[in-house]
Amino acid sequence: MSIEVIRDLRGLHSSIARHRNGPLNTAASLAIVPTMGAIHEAHEALVVEAKKNANIVLATIFVNPMQFGENEDLDKYPRSEEEDIKRLEDKGCDIVYIPENKTMYPDDFDLTINVPKLSSVLCGKERKNHFQGVATVVAKLLLQSGADYAIFGEKDYQQLLIITSLVKDLDIPCKIVPISTVRDNNGLAISSRNQYLNPKQINIANNINIIMTEAAKNFYNVDINETISFVRKSIEKVGINKIDYIEIRDNHNLENISNNNKSNARLFIAVYIDEVRLIDNIKL
């Protein structure tokens, strides 16, 4: 059975109903994989995980304007709809939902969802209102689809915690299923923005995971600030001069941690290689 391509809300509800109530799928479960397109290996891994959890897999492609700032790359964000649909179909996705802006945000739309504590640190410090846009669109997609499961990657770890929190606090009956960061053969976290990097820049970016892994080896033997200093100096040494942040925070709530309690520590990094912003994280 070929993938169904849906572009409006009524069509989405009809398609899901057909899949849920088919003769072989009585009370079938549904997993959603929200994306902004530019499908790559990490998205494909999310679809594979979705198939393990549910009978029906729905992927969404929506480049969400609400989560982009004034000087960010909304207009330049890669779009490859035909190829995206093919890659999703090849991995066994049943439905792909590609709504227009007016479907998600009608003219009279006047609502945002904010998870303030989790959104105020790391990427939220510089990217004002970014996570409000993420939380709002994800909440809408979960409610529109009635999904039983939603699959997200740990590369965007702060996003994962925010979505988990909003689902819990809004009593949305959907289980958030995380998967580990998908990396290429050199350890670089796979991202849609990697395609902006030239070969020289990729060689530089490949050092990020190597440095984080090295920092993790000695984390419990040294002061937290010493670990951060090691990461900063190592990153600068390989030619990355613009650092957004290097922070070590609690794995569950993103609060600061102390040397007296390192048991739930996670290292977070955001850097620029020329104009390309890359983020990564690792459990310590």
Q: Would you say residue 238 has pLDDT above 70?
A: yes
Q: How far apart are CA 82 and CA 35, in angstroms?
A: 15
Residues 133-169: pLDDT tens digits? 999 999 999 999 999 999 999 999 999 999 999 999 9
How distant is the alpha carbon of residue 256 from its chain centre? Answer: 22
Identify whether the C-beta of residue 155 lies closer than 8 Å to the C-beta of residue 191.
Answer: yes
Q: What distance in Å separates the CA atoms of residue 35 and residue 159, rounded to the nearest whole number?
A: 13
- Mean pLDDT of all residues in 184-204: 96
d(CA 38, CA 87): 10
∠ CA(137), CA(142), CA(145), 5° rounding?
A: 120
Which value, in Å, is the radius of gyration of the alpha carbons in the chain?
Answer: 20
**Known catalytic residue: 40?**
no
Taking the C-alpha atoms of residue 284 and residue 267, their distance in angstroms, rounded to an integer, is: 7
Listed range (51-65, 76-90, 158-172) with the worst mean pLDDT = 76-90
Catalytic residue among 13, 43, 130, 252: 43
Mean pLDDT of 244-265: 96
Q: How confident is the model at residue 47 (pLDDT cuts 50, 70, 90)?
A: very high
pLDDT at position 102 over 70: yes
Determine the pLDDT at residue 21. Answer: 83
29 has a pLDDT exceeding 60: yes
Tell me the pLDDT tens digit for each residue of 208-227.
Answer: 999 999 999 999 999 999 99
* pTM attached to this predicted model: 0.95
In terms of Cβ atoms closer than 10 Å to its own Cβ (0-12, 13-18, 19+), residue 146 is middle
> What pLDDT score does 175 carry?
98
Residue-level length of the chain:
284
pLDDT at 124: 95
171: left (phi over 0), alpha (psi -120 to 50) or beta: left
Domains and CATH numbers, the chain: 4-179 (3.40.50.620), 192-283 (3.30.1300.10)
Average pLDDT of 109-133?
94
Q: Quick one: pLDDT at residue 26?
A: 59
pLDDT at 25 over 60: no
Please write the tens of the pLDDT for every residue from 5-14: 999 999 999 9
